[in-house]
Structure 1
Amino acid sequence: MSRQVIRLPAEVNRILYVRNLPYKITSEEMYDIFGKFGAIRQIRKGTHGDKKGTAFVVYEDIYDAKNAFDNLSGFNVAGRYLIVLYYQPQKMQERQDLEFQRKQIEKLREQQRQQQQ
Protein backbone atom coordinates (compact mmCIF):
# COMPACT_ATOMS: atom_id res chain seq x y z
CA MET A 1 0.00 0.00 0.00
CA SER A 2 1.78 3.16 -1.14
CA ARG A 3 1.09 6.39 0.65
CA GLN A 4 1.59 9.84 -0.63
CA VAL A 5 3.94 11.77 1.63
CA ILE A 6 1.76 14.32 3.42
CA ARG A 7 3.09 16.80 5.95
CA LEU A 8 1.14 16.16 9.16
CA PRO A 9 0.50 18.71 11.92
CA ALA A 10 2.91 18.48 14.88
CA GLU A 11 0.31 17.06 17.29
CA VAL A 12 -0.43 14.04 15.08
CA ASN A 13 1.09 10.83 16.41
CA ARG A 14 0.38 7.09 16.59
CA ILE A 15 -1.25 7.26 20.02
CA LEU A 16 -4.87 8.30 20.40
CA TYR A 17 -6.45 9.18 23.74
CA VAL A 18 -10.15 8.26 23.73
CA ARG A 19 -12.70 9.58 26.23
CA ASN A 20 -16.42 9.04 26.82
CA LEU A 21 -16.29 5.30 26.14
CA PRO A 22 -19.09 3.15 27.55
CA TYR A 23 -17.82 1.64 30.82
CA LYS A 24 -18.76 -1.88 29.75
CA ILE A 25 -17.05 -1.83 26.35
CA THR A 26 -14.85 -4.86 25.85
CA SER A 27 -11.35 -4.94 24.38
CA GLU A 28 -12.70 -6.99 21.47
CA GLU A 29 -15.29 -4.30 20.70
CA MET A 30 -12.58 -1.66 20.81
CA TYR A 31 -10.39 -3.66 18.42
CA ASP A 32 -13.41 -4.02 16.10
CA ILE A 33 -14.08 -0.26 16.09
CA PHE A 34 -10.52 1.04 15.93
CA GLY A 35 -9.04 -1.84 13.91
CA LYS A 36 -11.03 -0.80 10.83
CA PHE A 37 -8.52 2.00 10.31
CA GLY A 38 -5.31 -0.01 10.48
CA ALA A 39 -3.08 -2.31 12.50
CA ILE A 40 -3.22 -1.67 16.24
CA ARG A 41 -0.19 -2.25 18.43
CA GLN A 42 -1.98 -1.88 21.75
CA ILE A 43 -5.16 -0.73 23.48
CA ARG A 44 -5.10 0.27 27.15
CA LYS A 45 -8.44 0.87 28.85
CA GLY A 46 -8.81 2.89 32.03
CA THR A 47 -10.36 0.75 34.74
CA HIS A 48 -10.50 2.76 37.98
CA GLY A 49 -12.03 6.00 39.18
CA ASP A 50 -11.87 8.92 36.78
CA LYS A 51 -9.94 6.78 34.26
CA LYS A 52 -13.01 4.65 33.50
CA GLY A 53 -14.41 5.38 30.07
CA THR A 54 -10.99 6.28 28.68
CA ALA A 55 -8.42 4.39 26.63
CA PHE A 56 -5.17 4.76 24.75
CA VAL A 57 -5.10 3.26 21.27
CA VAL A 58 -1.64 2.81 19.74
CA TYR A 59 -1.48 2.27 15.98
CA GLU A 60 1.43 0.80 14.06
CA ASP A 61 1.24 3.60 11.49
CA ILE A 62 0.74 7.34 12.06
CA TYR A 63 -1.51 7.67 8.98
CA ASP A 64 -3.85 4.97 10.34
CA ALA A 65 -4.05 6.89 13.63
CA LYS A 66 -4.90 10.08 11.73
CA ASN A 67 -7.56 8.27 9.73
CA ALA A 68 -9.12 6.87 12.93
CA PHE A 69 -8.96 10.32 14.55
CA ASP A 70 -10.69 11.91 11.56
CA ASN A 71 -13.43 9.26 11.40
CA LEU A 72 -14.11 8.37 15.03
CA SER A 73 -14.29 11.80 16.70
CA GLY A 74 -17.97 12.07 17.60
CA PHE A 75 -18.68 8.44 16.64
CA ASN A 76 -21.65 7.03 18.59
CA VAL A 77 -20.91 3.88 20.62
CA ALA A 78 -23.80 2.56 22.74
CA GLY A 79 -25.34 6.03 22.98
CA ARG A 80 -22.08 7.80 23.85
CA TYR A 81 -20.19 10.06 21.48
CA LEU A 82 -16.45 9.35 21.45
CA ILE A 83 -13.97 12.13 22.12
CA VAL A 84 -10.78 11.23 20.26
CA LEU A 85 -7.61 13.23 20.86
CA TYR A 86 -3.97 12.81 19.98
CA TYR A 87 -1.95 11.84 23.04
CA GLN A 88 0.16 14.81 24.10
CA PRO A 89 2.25 13.85 27.12
CA GLN A 90 3.28 17.43 27.94
CA LYS A 91 -0.31 18.63 28.14
CA MET A 92 -1.39 15.62 30.18
CA GLN A 93 1.49 16.18 32.61
CA GLU A 94 0.60 19.86 32.92
CA ARG A 95 -3.02 18.90 33.66
CA GLN A 96 -1.89 16.41 36.32
CA ASP A 97 0.44 19.00 37.86
CA LEU A 98 -2.36 21.56 38.03
CA GLU A 99 -4.68 19.03 39.66
CA PHE A 100 -2.00 18.16 42.22
CA GLN A 101 -1.43 21.84 42.99
CA ARG A 102 -5.17 22.41 43.35
CA LYS A 103 -5.41 19.57 45.87
CA GLN A 104 -2.41 20.91 47.79
CA ILE A 105 -3.97 24.39 47.99
CA GLU A 106 -7.27 22.93 49.18
CA LYS A 107 -5.44 20.92 51.84
CA LEU A 108 -3.61 24.06 53.06
CA ARG A 109 -6.90 26.01 53.15
CA GLU A 110 -8.50 23.28 55.22
CA GLN A 111 -5.56 23.26 57.66
CA GLN A 112 -5.80 27.03 58.00
CA ARG A 113 -9.56 26.83 58.67
CA GLN A 114 -8.94 24.29 61.41
CA GLN A 115 -6.25 26.47 63.00
CA GLN A 116 -8.55 29.51 63.04
CA GLN A 117 -11.25 27.64 64.94
Structure 2
Amino acid sequence: MAAMATGGKRGNARLPPEVNRVLYVRNLPFKITSEEMYDIFGKYGAIRQIRVGDKPDTRGTAFVVYEDIYDAKNAVDHLSGFNVCGRYLVVLYYQASRMQKRMDNDKKRKELEELKQKYNVSADEVAG
Protein backbone atom coordinates (compact mmCIF):
# COMPACT_ATOMS: atom_id res chain seq x y z
CA MET A 1 0.00 0.00 0.00
CA ALA A 2 2.87 2.41 0.74
CA ALA A 3 4.26 1.86 -2.76
CA MET A 4 0.95 2.91 -4.28
CA ALA A 5 0.84 6.06 -2.14
CA THR A 6 4.21 7.20 -3.50
CA GLY A 7 3.25 6.67 -7.11
CA GLY A 8 4.18 3.01 -7.53
CA LYS A 9 6.87 3.10 -10.24
CA ARG A 10 8.51 6.19 -8.77
CA GLY A 11 8.99 5.32 -5.14
CA ASN A 12 11.73 7.47 -3.63
CA ALA A 13 13.82 7.53 -6.81
CA ARG A 14 16.23 10.44 -7.00
CA LEU A 15 16.72 11.95 -10.40
CA PRO A 16 19.96 13.46 -11.69
CA PRO A 17 19.93 17.29 -11.66
CA GLU A 18 19.82 17.60 -15.48
CA VAL A 19 16.52 15.70 -15.70
CA ASN A 20 13.53 17.92 -16.48
CA ARG A 21 10.18 17.79 -18.29
CA VAL A 22 11.46 19.49 -21.46
CA LEU A 23 13.28 17.35 -24.02
CA TYR A 24 15.29 18.54 -27.00
CA VAL A 25 15.18 16.07 -29.91
CA ARG A 26 17.66 16.11 -32.80
CA ASN A 27 18.20 14.10 -35.99
CA LEU A 28 14.48 13.92 -36.81
CA PRO A 29 13.35 13.32 -40.38
CA PHE A 30 12.68 16.77 -41.90
CA LYS A 31 9.14 15.82 -42.90
CA ILE A 32 8.01 14.48 -39.53
CA THR A 33 4.69 15.90 -38.33
CA SER A 34 3.53 16.89 -34.85
CA GLU A 35 1.00 14.03 -34.99
CA GLU A 36 3.79 11.51 -35.65
CA MET A 37 5.76 13.01 -32.77
CA TYR A 38 2.75 12.63 -30.45
CA ASP A 39 2.45 8.97 -31.57
CA ILE A 40 6.12 8.28 -30.78
CA PHE A 41 6.56 10.28 -27.57
CA GLY A 42 3.00 9.89 -26.23
CA LYS A 43 3.65 6.23 -25.44
CA TYR A 44 5.76 7.34 -22.47
CA GLY A 45 3.32 9.72 -20.79
CA ALA A 46 1.07 12.76 -21.06
CA ILE A 47 2.53 15.46 -23.28
CA ARG A 48 1.86 19.13 -22.66
CA GLN A 49 3.36 20.42 -25.92
CA ILE A 50 5.48 19.50 -28.94
CA ARG A 51 7.21 22.07 -31.13
CA VAL A 52 8.76 20.76 -34.36
CA GLY A 53 11.38 22.99 -35.99
CA ASP A 54 10.18 24.38 -39.31
CA LYS A 55 12.84 26.95 -40.20
CA PRO A 56 16.02 26.07 -42.14
CA ASP A 57 18.18 26.24 -38.99
CA THR A 58 15.72 24.28 -36.78
CA ARG A 59 14.56 21.54 -39.18
CA GLY A 60 15.17 18.07 -37.84
CA THR A 61 14.74 19.21 -34.25
CA ALA A 62 11.86 19.44 -31.79
CA PHE A 63 11.00 20.27 -28.21
CA VAL A 64 8.77 17.85 -26.30
CA VAL A 65 7.27 18.98 -22.99
CA TYR A 66 5.88 16.27 -20.70
CA GLU A 67 3.43 16.81 -17.86
CA ASP A 68 5.55 14.63 -15.56
CA ILE A 69 9.32 14.57 -15.11
CA TYR A 70 9.38 10.77 -14.70
CA ASP A 71 7.62 10.33 -18.04
CA ALA A 72 10.24 12.58 -19.66
CA LYS A 73 13.02 10.45 -18.14
CA ASN A 74 11.32 7.30 -19.39
CA ALA A 75 11.12 8.77 -22.91
CA VAL A 76 14.82 9.70 -22.89
CA ASP A 77 15.75 6.22 -21.66
CA HIS A 78 13.71 4.49 -24.38
CA LEU A 79 13.90 6.83 -27.38
CA SER A 80 17.57 7.86 -27.46
CA GLY A 81 18.87 6.00 -30.51
CA PHE A 82 15.33 5.05 -31.67
CA ASN A 83 15.18 4.62 -35.46
CA VAL A 84 12.64 6.82 -37.27
CA CYS A 85 12.70 6.56 -41.08
CA GLY A 86 16.35 5.49 -41.05
CA ARG A 87 17.45 8.24 -38.65
CA TYR A 88 18.52 7.56 -35.07
CA LEU A 89 17.01 10.06 -32.63
CA VAL A 90 19.14 12.06 -30.25
CA VAL A 91 16.95 12.83 -27.21
CA LEU A 92 18.40 15.17 -24.60
CA TYR A 93 17.15 17.10 -21.60
CA TYR A 94 16.75 20.74 -22.55
CA GLN A 95 19.28 22.96 -20.79
CA ALA A 96 18.52 26.63 -21.32
CA SER A 97 22.03 27.79 -20.41
CA ARG A 98 23.66 25.56 -23.05
CA MET A 99 21.18 26.61 -25.73
CA GLN A 100 21.70 30.30 -24.92
CA LYS A 101 25.47 29.87 -25.08
CA ARG A 102 25.19 28.19 -28.49
CA MET A 103 22.94 30.98 -29.78
CA ASP A 104 25.38 33.62 -28.44
CA ASN A 105 28.30 31.90 -30.18
CA ASP A 106 26.37 31.71 -33.46
CA LYS A 107 25.49 35.41 -33.19
CA LYS A 108 29.14 36.35 -32.52
CA ARG A 109 30.32 34.23 -35.45
CA LYS A 110 27.82 35.93 -37.76
CA GLU A 111 28.85 39.41 -36.56
CA LEU A 112 32.52 38.53 -37.13
CA GLU A 113 31.79 37.40 -40.69
CA GLU A 114 29.88 40.62 -41.37
CA LEU A 115 32.78 42.71 -40.04
CA LYS A 116 35.29 40.74 -42.15
CA GLN A 117 33.21 41.46 -45.24
CA LYS A 118 32.65 45.09 -44.32
CA TYR A 119 36.36 45.76 -43.87
CA ASN A 120 37.48 43.31 -46.58
CA VAL A 121 39.54 41.16 -44.20
CA SER A 122 40.40 37.57 -45.14
CA ALA A 123 40.66 34.63 -42.74
CA ASP A 124 44.44 34.53 -43.32
CA GLU A 125 44.83 38.12 -42.15
CA VAL A 126 42.82 37.40 -38.99
CA ALA A 127 44.81 34.24 -38.13
CA GLY A 128 48.21 35.72 -38.91
The two structures have a TM-score, normalised by structure 2, of 0.85
For the pair 1:11 / 2:9, whether they are aligned, the reply is no
**Deviation at residue 100 of structure 1 after TM alignment:** 0.5
4+ residue runs of structure 1 moved beyond 2 angstroms? none
* SS of structure 1 residue aligned to 2:25: strand
Q: Report Cα offsets for 1:16-36 as digits up to 9, x if no partner.
A: 000111111121111111011
How do residues 1-117 of structure 1 correspond to structure 2 at under 5 angstroms?
Answer: 1-2=7-8, 3-113=10-120
Q: Give 5+ residue unaligned stretches, structure 1.
A: none
State the number of aligned residues.
114
Q: Report Cα offsets for 1:31-88 as digits up to 9, x if no partner.
A: 1110111110110111111111111000000000001001101100011110111100
Q: Give 5+ residue unaligned stretches, structure 2.
A: 1-6, 122-128
For 1:67 and 1:48, locate their aligned partners in 2 and report how far apart those are by CA, in whole Å.
29
Aligned equivalent of 2:4: none
Amino acid at match of 2:54: T
Flag the structure with more relative contact order, 1 or 2, with Cα contacts below 8 A and sequence separation at least 6.
1
The two structures have a TM-score, normalised by structure 1, of 0.92
Q: Percent identity?
A: 68
RMSD (CA atoms):
1.1
Larger Cα Rg: Structure 1 or Structure 2?
Answer: 2
For 1:5 and 1:59, locate their aligned partners in 2 and report how far apart those are by CA, in whole Å.
20
